[in-house]
Structure 1
Amino acid sequence: MNKDIIINETKIFVKNKLLSEGTGHDWYHIKRVYNLSTYLCEKENGDEFIIKMVALLHDIDDWKFSNNHNTTEDFLKSINVDKESMSKIMKIIKTMSFKGGVQDSTQDSIEGKIVQDADRLDALGAIGIARAFAYGGSKNRVIYDPHIKPMKFKSLEDVKNANNHTINHFYEKLLKLKDLMNTNTAKHIAEERHRFMELFLNEFYYEWNFHKDL
């Protein structure tokens, strides 16, 4: 198994699948997660092949925009990834998503912890803000409705069916991520990105309420 060839084939496959994806889970999100994962791997150690493959493939079967939940596994078989590696890759992918905080996403391997951190870091900061509104727009959600308070989800179905707005997503997920980082390196990066989101929200409410008596 030539790992470099497999990684390159995977890059081509994922790029073709997600280049024009419009919810903020596009090819450029994958590239950022891949680069962040590689950086975290250098700092925290781990199996670089597993980390890179998970980073590349983690959104292919994402429930938010994919109706086929076997594409990733079928692809790994088609490029002859060994069974042990495929098992590790699939286990991480199936368990790393936040999913409204209603399912256990705890990672028991450093590889899972690293890619989960990288994916969550890309949901923070300036890019995280942009992605939140891109996703909200793709679901026809309003930017903000002060009458709809942040929700406490009890199941994945609640997450999928919520009549929500994008600002609530900050309180239901994004502002929680800083304290959910696994690695010390990611925790340090998350602190700065978290502060930027808090600054954004303060400015957002200031502008929203400007001359609100009109």
Structure 2
Amino acid sequence: MSIPVAETASLSLDKLLTLDPRLPGVWAWVQQHMTPDAAHDEGHLHRVALWTRRCAPQEPVVLAVAAALTHDVVNLPKNHPQRAQASTLAAQAVQQVLPDLGFTPAQAHEVALAVRDHSFSRGAVPATPLGAALQDADRLDALGALGVMRVAAVGGHLGRAIFDAADPWCQQREPDDQAFTVDHFFTKLLRLSASFQTVPGRAEAQRRTAVMHAFLTQLGEEIGVPYPEP
């Protein structure tokens, strides 16, 4: 199904689900099985769907949206011992379920590959254009103002301190994002833009990374320790 990206760029989730008769079934399955949290909720899945479409305009819209909606169907906490296997477990579930929801085995396999490869924890370079688009879309949601809010939500949920008052910018120590929320900017978030695979994703990642640098600059002013922006 070919639908211009401009026509899907800002659709509500309800509207996205009307683009193909199989998508409501996909969404119902995700709602039944996914364990949401503040950083992985309906809004996150919706935003990832919109950006997967933008990053892979050549892909059938039903596959882009299905991949985005299912990519966190196995959602394990950041500190879970099987966190690195979450996307593989999700992909296995997708491969099994999508044919029952009207997808061909080949379509289910393509969506499953994208779901498997999107994960940062897995450390894989996506094997398909759809996988590259899904990975970029998911990583975009970790950047910019949304990224700041999501990392704060996760840090609060896990009981981490906001920052190390003695060395907030990790200048004299190795970053430890298990202890300090701000350290996650240095272990992962500020490095993400170099990993983007698609042209739209790369451009947006650079813009959102600049927003995060601006946030850290403001934080430095408020705590009295200037942020040494690269």
**TM-score category (smaller protein):** 0.7 to 0.9
Give the structure 2 partner of residue 89 of structure 1: 111
Give the structure 1 partner of residue 45 of structure 2: 30
The yes-or-no answer on 1:14 pairing with 2:30 is: yes
Q: Determine which of 184, 187, 194 is the counterpart of 1:179.
A: 194
Give the structure 2 partner of residue 120 of structure 1: 139
Bigger Cα displacement from structure 2, 67-76 vs 180-189:
67-76
Structure-2 change in CA distance of 1:64 and 1:94 (3 Å)? farther
State the distance in 2 between where 1:193 and 1:59 align: 22
Give the structure 1 partner of residue 154 of structure 2: 135
RMSD: 2.5
Give the structure 1 partner of residue 213 of structure 2: 198
State the distance in 2 between where 1:78 and 1:145 align: 50
* Preserved CA contact (<8 Å) 1:107 1:113: yes
Give the structure 1 partner of residue 69 of structure 2: 56
Structure-2 change in CA distance of 1:95 and 1:32 (3 Å)? same
State the distance in 1 between where 2:123 and 2:190 align: 18
- After TM superposition, list the pairs within 5 Å mapping 1:144-183 onto structure 2: 144-146=163-165, 149-151=174-176, 163-183=178-198
Bigger Cα displacement from structure 2, 64-73 vs 120-129:
64-73
State the distance in 1 between where 2:20 and 2:164 align: 48
TM-score (norm 1): 0.78
* Preserved CA contact (<8 Å) 1:23 1:135: yes
TM-score (norm 2): 0.73
Q: Which amino acid aligns with 1:143?
A: I
Structure 1: which 4+ aligned runs deviate by more than 6 Å? 65-68
Structure 2: where are the runs of 5+ without partners? 1-18, 168-172, 226-230
Percent of residue pairs bearing the same amino acid type: 26
> How many residues are treated as equivalent by the alignment?
192
Q: Could you report, residue by residue, the CA deviation over 1:89-108 in whole angstroms, capped at 9, with x for unpaired residues? A: 22221221111xxx432012
Instruction: Tell me by how many angstroms 1:209 deviates.
Output: 2.5
Q: Could you report, residue by residue, the CA deviation over 1:25-71 in whole angstroms, capped at 9, with x for unpaired residues? A: 111100010111122233xx223332211111001113327988465
Three-state SS of the structure 2 residue aligned to 1:191 is helix
Structure 1: where are the runs of 5+ without partners? 152-161
* Preserved CA contact (<8 Å) 1:126 1:197: yes
State the distance in 2 between where 1:191 and 1:106 align: 19
Instruction: Tell me by how many angstroms 1:133 deviates.
Output: 0.7
Larger RCO: 1 or 2 (CA < 8 Å, sep 6+) = 1
Three-state SS of the structure 2 residue aligned to 1:166 is coil
Instruction: Tell me by how many angstroms 1:190 deviates.
Output: 1.2
